[in-house]
């Protein structure tokens, strides 16, 4: 098991283009599966290729277990890679594909047979070991590629969009399979993906990148609950986090939400985050499932402040698109399904202070975020 | 379809028919069973022509293969000026064999040959006569010319094959830690095998039938040292007017081709899952 | 689906299929399909690939002739009508864009074909709005060959949505888009359709997409309609194991087993494991003649318990997938069945931990083991 560390790594492809990766400092811990996630062009693939040795570094250093590797070629780094398009050897059988990394390294025949046998058993490919790989479905080909990666116990496995060529069922199945195998073998792994479901399902921690710059590295649960900035807040979670303006009142901890004409009070332990700011703007963030939706009724406390414009049932959860009566902006709520609200229903929305994230409205940075 | 059969089959059947008959000086007479074949197979000139063909098949073709593959690998790595180099490489292959013959005659023939005068004679390798008149070197010179003519073709064919290979497995092999030699032996060669087989077969047939450059440069001489089967058949027909025996030779060569093609085809089918 | 309904000619508005079957080379791809889609209604046609969704759409569009049965549009039999006279707009899963026309011209083409003497002045603005909603406005001048799969799909979608047809058929309209865009667009397209007077069929292999876009859902499996109903019906009361497996992420857990009568109760045996059925189910269990049954457990109806618990199913943690909002835990039972569980909180759960699973009794579903049909009675 090996930790992988990126130290001030930058990548520039040509003088005219901006940095593809800018001053990246990132640690992938021993035995961990770290996902690099971001929209296309965010620098995640460049980062992976630099770790693999398929791309040179412009600046900085990469350490495998404390040992610098930037001068080593891909073949000498003791890494394995699982590619988007499988990249199996089309002229070889399943068994020979898995044995390839061992045989080119001159591992002796008995040991080779045993290790290949182990991997075949682990993947449930024993019965078809002699088949040509070109006859297999995409999912099965990718399983062979995973076997080929695991067979020689590498320091690091790099997964480059491993599921993006597969469809629905195979994808969900292999997703669970990869994370299980990675956990049982404890091999340090880096996964590149543009699909947040894939990243959250498989990774111990996720590094979110945008325009070559690292935005946040955290566990899926923490990313979801405390995004470092509004970009992460919007990128992670489906439907995305509701972001709306708030104003800090003079009374300590009181924040006014002009859209709803209501105040929320932030608890004592969180007040330090905006203690220095008085009468200035904030962006509030609230996950759709935390928004409280109640049927409108009589009395000031239950007066309608929004109307349901669209209801999307999804089985165990329903999402509601709500138009705020005061300023016609929209919010999205998610309720346990099937819920009783219908399009056109007037409702009373309430924002629970405890689940609300506070962002600087200028920079988008989460005021309570500290690395 | 019928036209095709008529066009391709009729001459062949007629050759088979002739090979079983006494057919000399333009007259077809008695049916003589295998006499033409017996005469052919017991004659020294026939076995000599097989030897000449063998030299082309076993020396020229393999050398062309190796040089072609090496050149293709270099091209594939991306050398400077590849876009200019590739059209230039077509030149020898595009030239008519007659022109090739004349060209090399000018280059190598005796004291008026550009190359032969300046290099060969100066170092006294072949004295006095043209290299094509030397019993020792005439055949080698022809082999050399064949290599010159066909290596660029092989290079381009293999280069096209290399360009068409999937890139994925190479990325995987680089990460798996395979050396350049291992990548070549375990990946490139197996992936190229169908192409190599086809080109090999075509070149085998072509080299076996070699005629025109020899005809221009040596006419089979000196003596019979460069007399290929095609040249022998030509001589039998137009110099000795023995069409029967020439037909027997043609049929015999055809049988060799047929046998080799069949074997190739079966190996290819089994080993490569190709075709 | 009673006999009298099948035989009566109808004057109902909207789109109606009666007893439609289709056979290709002696293989029956559609069997006796009865379907009605009211004006303004969106019917989600959900089924796995190869179920016959595309063939059904092609029959309605007039691109295939049914082997038997009729299609009616607003009460008129259009079974024999050529496609051009039906005014049915269809969006093909294969896009079928004109390769020589730009995105804008492709979208404009159905309007030009119908308009005599030029387009109405508002048409250009309509097209622009639609392209903007589908996030392809900036691609208006590109040719199809310069587009990604998802962009082509949205162009084809725009070309179908711009029309004012008698019926609209969307054959897997957003299947090639990435998850985030798919999620966003299905709501927006659905809202465009809300304002439309014509019946719409929206086919998809994704059960959740069907639940979210359909006013009603028709589940098509292997050429047969397995169930038609509202999203709530399909979700709460799936008619068969096959339907149950199509809806839900992750799909419902289905355990095969046998029923045995105990003292005043009914036990469900799944290999070496025994569970006692809740009283509500025990009554419906009597309807199962053979004793073979499937038990359906919803992933979100299960809870984890540590320590000794007689009423819980003993399992071991096989894999954990955390999604931030919730996590999917895959558990393996002693006989080797996998059970997936959806929970908000996995805390310190690790692979290989022994845990018990409890189930909310109103979340259990019982199916006949031989036919796969539902055998439970919930109000």
Cα–Cα distance measured from residue C253 to residue C241, given in angstroms and rounded to the nearest whole number: 10
Q: Looking at the domain assignment, is residue C127 inside a domain?
A: yes
Do B and C touch, 3+ Cβ pairs within 8 Å? The answer is no
pLDDT at C270: 84
User: Does residue C196 sit in the same domain as residue C65?
Assistant: yes
pLDDT at B127: 57
Chains that touch B (3 or more CB pairs under 8 A): A
pLDDT at A297: 87
pLDDT digits (tens, 9 = 90+) for B131-155: 676 777 788 888 888 898 889 989 9
Q: Which residues of A touch B191 (CB under 8 A)?
A: 90-91
* Total domains, chain B: 1
The larger pLDDT score, comparing residue B273 to residue A121, is at: A121
Domain spans in chain A, listed from the N-terminal domain onward: 4-229, 235-360
Q: Determine the residue among A50, A85, A90 to mutate to test chain B binding: the one whose Cβ has the most chain B Cβ atoms within 10 Å.
A: A90
Under an 8 A CB cutoff, do A52 and B175 touch? yes
Cα–Cα distance measured from residue A211 to residue A197, given in angstroms and rounded to the nearest whole number: 21
**Residues ≥6 apart with Cβ < 8 Å to A298:** none
C280 pLDDT higher than 90: no
A285 pLDDT higher than 80: yes
User: Does residue C198 sit in the same domain as residue C275?
Assistant: no
Pairing of strands C253-261, C327-332: unpaired
**pLDDT band at C312, cuts 50/70/90?**
confident
Percentage of chain C surpassing pLDDT 70?
94
Q: Looking at the domain assignment, is residue C377 inside a domain?
A: no
Cα nearest neighbour of A134 on chain B: B273
Cα–Cα distance measured from residue A33 to residue A202, given in angstroms and rounded to the nearest whole number: 7
Q: Determine the residue among A104, A112, A130, A148 to mutate to test chain B binding: the one whose Cβ has the most chain B Cβ atoms within 10 Å.
A: A104
Chain C contact for A323, CB < 8 A?
no
* CA terminus-to-terminus distance, chain C: 21
pLDDT digits (tens, 9 = 90+) for A10-60: 999 988 889 999 999 999 999 999 999 998 889 999 999 999 998 999 999
CATH, residue C54: 3.40.50.300
pLDDT at A324: 95
User: Does residue C277 sit in the same domain as residue C166?
Assistant: no
Chain C contact for A289, CB < 8 A?
yes
Chain B contact for A11, CB < 8 A?
no
Q: Are A33 and A203 in contact (CB under 8 A)?
A: yes
Give the CATH fold of the A235-360 domain.
OB fold (Dihydrolipoamide Acetyltransferase, E2P) (2.40.50)
Chain A contact for C212, CB < 8 A?
yes
User: Does residue C289 sit in the same domain as residue C187?
Assistant: no
Mean pLDDT of B44-48: 85
User: Does residue C217 sit in the same domain as residue C102?
Assistant: yes
Degrees to nearest 5, angle at CA C208 with C206 and C210 = 75
pLDDT at C62: 92
Q: Looking at the domain assignment, is residue C262 inside a domain?
A: yes
Q: Which residues of A touch C180 (CB under 8 A)?
A: 196, 238
User: Does residue C230 sit in the same domain as residue C264?
Assistant: no
**pLDDT band at B69, cuts 50/70/90?**
very high
Find which of A136-145, B208-217, C4-13 is predicted with most confidence, using mean pLDDT.
A136-145
Least confident of C16-20, C122-126, C224-228: C122-126
B109 pLDDT higher than 70: no
Cα–Cα distance measured from residue A104 to residue B173, given in angstroms and rounded to the nearest whole number: 9
Least confident of A73-87, B123-137, B188-202, C57-71: B123-137
Chain A contact for C360, CB < 8 A?
no
pLDDT at B122: 59
From the list A168, A176, A321, the residue facing C321 with the nearest CB is: A176
Domain boundary among C191, C215, C240: C240
If one counts every other C-beta atom within 10 angstroms of the C-beta of residue C206, the result is 20
The larger pLDDT score, comparing residue B244 to residue A11, is at: A11
Helix (H/G/I), strand (E/B), else coil: C328? strand
Domain boundary among C212, C240, C268: C240
pLDDT at B70: 92
Question: Mean pLDDT across chain C, nearest whole number?
Answer: 86
Cα–Cα distance measured from residue A228 to residue A230, given in angstroms and rounded to the nearest whole number: 7
Under an 8 A CB cutoff, do A238 and C351 touch? no
Q: Looking at the domain assignment, is residue C52 inside a domain?
A: yes
H helices present in A1-134, as ranges:
44-52, 94-103, 109-123
Cα–Cα distance measured from residue A293 to residue A272, given in angstroms and rounded to the nearest whole number: 29
User: Does residue C148 sit in the same domain as residue C176?
Assistant: yes
**Residue A3, class by beta-carbon neighbours within 10 Å (0-12 exposed, 13-18 middle, 19+ buried)?**
middle
B174 pLDDT higher than 70: yes
Mean pLDDT of B109-136: 63
pLDDT at C307: 73
What would the two tokens of residue A274 be?
């905006």
User: Does residue C91 sit in the same domain as residue C192?
Assistant: yes
Q: Looking at the domain assignment, is residue C246 inside a domain?
A: no
**Residue B27, class by beta-carbon neighbours within 10 Å (0-12 exposed, 13-18 middle, 19+ buried)?**
exposed
How many Å separate Cα C62 from the centre of its chain?
23
**pLDDT band at A177, cuts 50/70/90?**
confident
Helix (H/G/I), strand (E/B), else coil: C237? coil
pLDDT digits (tens, 9 = 90+) for C89-123: 998 877 888 988 999 999 998 888 777 667 777 88
Mean pLDDT of C258-278: 82
Q: Looking at the domain assignment, is residue C329 inside a domain?
A: yes
From the list C208, C298, C321, the residue facing A314 with the nearest CB is: C208
pLDDT at B129: 63
Region class of B25: left (phi > 0), else alpha (psi between -120 and 50), else beta: left
Cα–Cα distance measured from residue C53 to residue C45, given in angstroms and rounded to the nearest whole number: 7
Degrees to nearest 5, angle at CA A308 with A306 and A313 = 145
Q: Which residues of A touch C211 (CB under 8 A)?
A: 313-315
Among A residues 98-117, those touching chain B with beta carbons less than 8 Å apart: 100-101, 104-105
Q: Looking at the domain assignment, is residue C373 inside a domain?
A: no
User: Does residue C283 sit in the same domain as residue C351?
Assistant: yes
CA torsion sign, C343 to C347 to C351 to C353? Answer: negative
Under an 8 A CB cutoff, do B177 and A88 touch? no
DSSP C161: H
The larger pLDDT score, comparing residue A66 to residue B96, is at: A66
CATH, residue B57: 1.10.3720.10
Mean pLDDT of B226-252: 81
**pLDDT band at B233, cuts 50/70/90?**
confident
Expressed as residue numbers, the domain containing B124 is: 2-272
* Total domains, chain C: 2
User: Does residue C303 sit in the same domain as residue C195?
Assistant: no
**pLDDT band at C7, cuts 50/70/90?**
very low
Cα nearest neighbour of A86 on chain B: B168
The hierarchical CATH code for the domain A4-229 is 3.40.50.300
pLDDT at C3: 37
Chain A contact for B169, CB < 8 A?
yes
User: Does residue C24 sit in the same domain as residue C149?
Assistant: yes
**pLDDT band at C9, cuts 50/70/90?**
very low
Q: Determine the residue among A53, A100, A132, A134 to mutate to test chain B binding: the one whose Cβ has the most chain B Cβ atoms within 10 Å.
A: A100
Chain C contact for A201, CB < 8 A?
yes
B61 pLDDT higher than 50: yes
* Closest chain A C-alpha to C215 CA, distance in angstroms: 10
Mean pLDDT of B173-182: 88
Cα–Cα distance measured from residue A217 to residue A222, given in angstroms and rounded to the nearest whole number: 9
Chain A contact for C205, CB < 8 A?
yes
C268 pLDDT higher than 90: no
pLDDT digits (tens, 9 = 90+) for A329-340: 999 999 988 889
Chain A contact for C348, CB < 8 A?
no
Chain B contact for A91, CB < 8 A?
yes
Q: Looking at the domain assignment, is residue C10 inside a domain?
A: no
Least confident of B89-93, C25-29, C70-74: B89-93
Q: Are A152 and A105 in contact (CB under 8 A)?
A: yes
pLDDT at C222: 92
What would the two tokens of residue C293 be?
């049954």
User: Does residue C118 sit in the same domain as residue C82?
Assistant: yes
pLDDT digits (tens, 9 = 90+) for A129-158: 999 888 888 888 999 999 999 998 899 999
Domain boundary among C208, C240, C272: C240
Question: Mean pLDDT across chain A, nearest whole number?
Answer: 90
pLDDT at A253: 81
Expressed as residue numbers, the domain containing C172 is: 15-240
Least confident of A171-180, A340-349, B129-138, C236-245: B129-138
What would the two tokens of residue B39 be?
């005469």
pLDDT at B79: 75
């Amino acid at each position: 098991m090996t930790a992988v560390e990126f130290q001030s790594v930058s990548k520039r492809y040509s003088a005219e283009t901006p940095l593809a990766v800018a001053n990246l400092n990132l640690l992938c811990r021993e035995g961990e599966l770290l996902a690099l996630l971001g929209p296309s062009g965010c620098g995640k693939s460049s980062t992976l290729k630099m770790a693999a040795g398929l791309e040179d570094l412009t600046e900085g250093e990469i350490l495998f277990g404390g040992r610098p590797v930037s001068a080593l070629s891909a073949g000498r780094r003791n890494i394995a890679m699982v590619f988007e398009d499988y990249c199996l050897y089309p002229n070889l059988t399943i068994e020979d594909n898995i044995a390839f990394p061992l045989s080119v390294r001159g591992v002796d025949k008995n040991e080779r047979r045993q290790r290949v046998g182990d991997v075949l058993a682990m993947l449930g490919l024993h019965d078809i070991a002699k088949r040509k790989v070109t006859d297999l479905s995409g999912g099965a080909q990718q399983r062979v590629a995973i076997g080929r990666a695991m067979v020689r116990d590498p320091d690091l496995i790099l997964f480059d969009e491993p599921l993006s060529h597969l469809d629905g069922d195979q994808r969900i199945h292999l997703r669970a399979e990869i994370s299980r195998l990675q956990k049982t073998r404890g091999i340090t792994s880096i996964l590149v993906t543009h699909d947040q479901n894939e990243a959250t399902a498989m990774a111990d921690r996720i590094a979110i990148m945008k325009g070559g710059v690292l935005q946040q590295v955290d566990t899926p649960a923490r990313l979801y609950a405390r995004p470092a900035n509004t970009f992460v807040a919007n990128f992670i979670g489906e439907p995305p986090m509701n972001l709306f303006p708030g104003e800090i009142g003079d009374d300590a901890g009181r924040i006014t939400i002009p859209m709803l004409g209501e105040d929320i009070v932030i608890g004592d332990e969180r007040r330090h985050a905006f203690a220095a700011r008085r009468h200035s703007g904030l962006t509030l963030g609230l996950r759709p499932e935390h928004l409280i939706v109640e049927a409108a009724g009589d009395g000031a406390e239950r007066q309608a402040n929004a109307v349901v414009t669209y209801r999307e049932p999804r089985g165990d959860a329903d999402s509601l698109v709500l138009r705020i009566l005061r300023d016609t902006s929209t919010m999205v709520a998610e309720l346990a399904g099937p819920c009783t609200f219908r399009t056109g229903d007037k409702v009373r929305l309430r924002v629970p202070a405890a689940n609300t994230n506070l962002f600087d409205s200028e920079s988008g940075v989460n005021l309570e975020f500290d690395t | 379809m019928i036209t095709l059969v008529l066009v391709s089959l009729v001459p062949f059947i007629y050759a088979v028919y002739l090979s079983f008959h006494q057919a000399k000086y333009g007259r077809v007479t008695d049916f003589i069973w295998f006499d033409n074949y017996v005469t052919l197979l017991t004659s020294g000139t026939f076995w000599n022509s097989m030897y000449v063909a063998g030299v082309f098949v076993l020396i020229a073709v393999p050398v062309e293969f190796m040089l072609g593959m090496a050149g293709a690998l270099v091209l594939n790595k991306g050398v400077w000026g590849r876009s200019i180099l590739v059209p230039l490489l077509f030149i020898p292959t595009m030239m008519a064999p007659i022109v090739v013959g004349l060209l090399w005659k000018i280059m190598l023939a005796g004291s008026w040959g550009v190359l032969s005068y300046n290099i060969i004679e100066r170092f006294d390798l072949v004295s006095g006569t043209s290299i094509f008149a030397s019993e020792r070197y005439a055949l080698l010179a022809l082999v050399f010319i064949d290599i010159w003519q066909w290596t660029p073709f092989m290079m381009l064919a293999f280069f096209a094959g290399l360009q068409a290979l999937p890139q994925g497995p190479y990325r995987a092999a680089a990460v798996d830690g395979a050396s350049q030699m291992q990548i070549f032996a375990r990946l490139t060669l197996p992936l190229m095998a169908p192409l190599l087989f086809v080109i090999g077969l075509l070149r085998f047939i072509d080299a076996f039938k070699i005629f025109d450059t020899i005809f221009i440069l040596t006419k089979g001489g000196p003596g019979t040292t460069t007399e290929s089967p095609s040249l022998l058949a030509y001589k039998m027909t137009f110099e000795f007017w023995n069409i029967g025996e020439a037909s027997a030779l043609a049929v015999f060569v055809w049988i060799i081709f047929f046998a080799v093609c069949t074997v190739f085809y079966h190996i290819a089918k089994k080993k490569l899952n190709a075709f | 689906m009673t006999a009298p309904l099948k035989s009566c000619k109808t004057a109902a508005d909207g789109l109606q299929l009666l007893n439609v079957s289709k056979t290709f080379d002696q293989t029956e791809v559609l069997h006796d399909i009865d379907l009605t889609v009211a004006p303004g209604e969106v019917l989600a046609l959900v089924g796995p690939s190869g179920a016959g969704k595309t063939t059904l759409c092609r029959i309605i569009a007039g691109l295939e002739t049914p082997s038997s049965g009729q299609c009616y549009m607003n009460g008129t039999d259009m079974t024999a009508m050529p496609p051009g006279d039906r005014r049915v707009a269809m969006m093909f899963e294969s896009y079928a864009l004109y390769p020589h026309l730009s995105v804008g011209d492709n979208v404009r083409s159905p309007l030009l074909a119908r308009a005599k003497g030029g387009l109405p002045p508002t048409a250009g603005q309509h097209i622009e709005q639609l392209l903007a909603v589908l996030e392809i406005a900036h691609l208006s001048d590109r040719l199809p060959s310069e587009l990604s799969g998802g962009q082509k799909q949205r162009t084809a979608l725009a070309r179908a949505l711009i029309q004012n047809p008698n019926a609209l058929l969307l054959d897997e309209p957003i299947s090639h888009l990435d998850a985030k865009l798919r999620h966003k667009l299905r709501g927006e397209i659905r809202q465009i359709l809300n304002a439309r007077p014509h019946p719409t069929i929206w086919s998809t292999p994704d059960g959740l997409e069907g639940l979210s876009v359909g006013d009603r859902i028709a589940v098509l499996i292997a050429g047969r309609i397995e169930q038609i109903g509202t999203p709530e019906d399909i979700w709460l009361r799936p008619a068969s194991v096959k339907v149950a497996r199509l809806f839900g992420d992750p799909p419902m857990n289905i355990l095969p087993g046998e029923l045995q009568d105990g003292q005043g109760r009914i036990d469900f045996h799944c290999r070496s494991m025994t569970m006692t059925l809740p009283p509500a189910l025990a009554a419906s269990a009597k309807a199962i003649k053979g004793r073979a049954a499937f038990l359906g457990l919803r992933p979100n109806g299960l809870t984890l318990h540590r320590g000794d618990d007689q009423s819980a199913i003993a399992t071991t943690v096989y894999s954990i997938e955390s999604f931030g909002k919730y996590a999917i835990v895959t558990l393996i039972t002693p006989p080797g069945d996998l059970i997936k569980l959806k929970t908000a909180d996995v805390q310190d759960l690790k692979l290989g931990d022994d845990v018990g699973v409890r189930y909310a009794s109103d979340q259990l579903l019982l199916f006949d083991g031989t036919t796969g049909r539902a055998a439970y009675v919930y109000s």
